[in-house]
Amino acid sequence: MSIEQHRVIGFWRGWSIAVGCAIGSGIFMMPTMLAPYGMLGFGGWLIAGSGSILVALTMAKLVKRIPKTGGPYVYVNEGLGKFSGFIIAWTYWISCISAIAGISIAFVGYLGFFIPTISNSPIHSLLASLVLVWTIIILNIRSLENSSKFQLISTLLKLLPLIFIIFLGAANFNFDNLPELNPTDLHPISLLATVTTLVMWSFIGIETATVPADNVINPQETIPKVLIASVLTILIIYILVSFSIAVIVPASELINSSAPFALAATKILGVTGGTLISIGALISTLGSLNANTLTAGNLSLAAARDGLLPRKFVSLTETGTPIFTYLLTGVFVSILLMLNYTKGIVNAFVYMAMLSTLSTLIAYAFCAIAEFKFAQTDQKNQARINALLLSCGTFLYAFFAIWGAGIEMIIYSLILIIFGTPIYLLKK
């Protein structure tokens, strides 16, 4: 089958991959994660949203230069060399694996609204997560077209509970529920950096629209439009939803909730409201899980084609899906889940979210450097100056958010990079 016959992703399916990947477990767990940081925590949405726009614009420029499958990995590999490309392929793959694990944990948290024994038992939670992960992996192995259709439908459905919560917040506005400005001992700048890194988890995924470029119809035109439309969609919805939750539920109750949206809806509409929102959250996390799985497969496929991973990663099914990398992804996700479920649902989710976010931010920083290098060779005009300034802005934002992750998470990420280096050396 030719590459053109594989091009089944148009604007709306591309938009659904980016929005579906970003709007998933993040926003449905974020009220709980932000509750300890007070009103100042809302500043993280504005910083992360502005930074995500810079990232989207940088990615749009890069995909026009290099319209190939692999997304951030391809841009860094061609701009900064094979070792840098390998680091990004490795860390970004880890980001996808961490995201898949974190999203499955969020899914189980909302599933516990219907089956309390699942969220009350670590073993039951783990088993439910594993069944979910392997179901999605099998779906992606079977067919890219079915996976992309599922992604579009689930993305449209997941917007319904978000719109519903916005409506409930507007209709039941209570200023008394809003938290104090800064209830922590952190300096405001440190707090904003920490919150930005947490909130960035909810924006992580917009770049996934660039990864399956070989399957996108007219990628040089379609993907930049998808990126900008996705960021604007996500930013507007997040700000409205997060504020709506804050005016319905006091921060003291949000801190310990594993299903904050269901809690908010239950307060207004009772069990019926909680049920509707929980169903929407389950659909949302399912779509995000699918998008991250799709990205993990295509990313490692691109790296293997360039000789940075073993040839086994290029093994394709008759429908053109990379079966080996999907199976390996499933194995690593399963191991990660088994190692971290002792933390409890909320703590395990926060850990996975931070690890995934930090790994992706490293990719953003490298992409900004690659774009800066590409722009230096462009014709000297205003467009070149704009491209250089944009890449600098994107790098500074990524660096700020990486700093916000804290030294412990940064050390974990460096250890993971060191673990991957022998693979590169063996391939060399």
165 neighbors 244 (Cβ within 8 angstroms): yes
Query: Considering only CA atoms, which of 95, 16, 9, 22 is closest in space to residue 285?
Result: 22
Question: Token match 């726009």: residue?
Answer: 53
Cα 25 from Cα 102, distance rounded (Å): 8
**Mind listing the pLDDT tens digit of every residue in the chain (428 residues)?**
444 545 556 777 777 777 776 776 567 777 777 777 877 877 888 888 888 888 888 888 888 888 776 678 888 988 888 888 888 888 878 878 877 887 888 788 778 878 888 777 778 888 888 888 898 888 878 766 666 666 667 667 777 878 888 888 888 777 776 767 777 777 888 888 778 877 877 777 777 666 656 666 777 777 778 888 888 888 888 888 888 888 888 777 777 776 777 778 888 888 887 788 778 778 777 777 877 787 777 777 777 777 777 777 777 777 677 788 888 888 888 888 887 666 555 566 667 667 777 878 888 899 999 999 999 888 888 888 888 999 999 999 888 888 877 787 788 778 877 877 777 777 66
Which 3 state secondary structure label does DSSP give 9?
strand
Secondary structure E strands in 96-161: none
Dihedral (C-alpha) 332, 334, 340, 346: value to the nearest 10 degrees? 110
Question: Token match 């999605």: residue?
Answer: 136
Cα 283 from Cα 273, distance rounded (Å): 16
For residue 370, what pLDDT is reported? Answer: 92
- Pairs from 150-153 (Cβ < 8 Å, separation ≥ 24): 150/287, 150/290, 151/13, 151/16, 151/17, 151/20, 151/287, 151/290, 151/291, 151/294, 152/12, 152/13, 152/16, 152/20
DSSP letter at 216?
A: B
- Amino acid identity at 19: V
Which 3 state secondary structure label does DSSP give 20?
helix
Query: Considering only CA atoms, which of 39, 81, 71 is closest in space to residue 292?
Result: 71
Name 216's bridge partners: 9
Sketch out the chain's domains with CATH numbers.
3-427 (1.20.1740.10)
Alpha carbon of 38 to those of 114, 174, 184, 188, 305: distances in Å?
A: 30, 16, 8, 11, 47
For residue 68, what pLDDT is reported? Answer: 74
Cα 306 from Cα 317, distance rounded (Å): 19
360 neighbors 94 (Cβ within 8 angstroms): no
List, as one string, the DSSP characters of 235-271: HHHHHHHHHHHHHHS-HHHHTT-S-HHHHHHHHHHHH
* C-alpha 114 chain-centroid distance: 26
Cα 17 from Cα 213, distance rounded (Å): 12
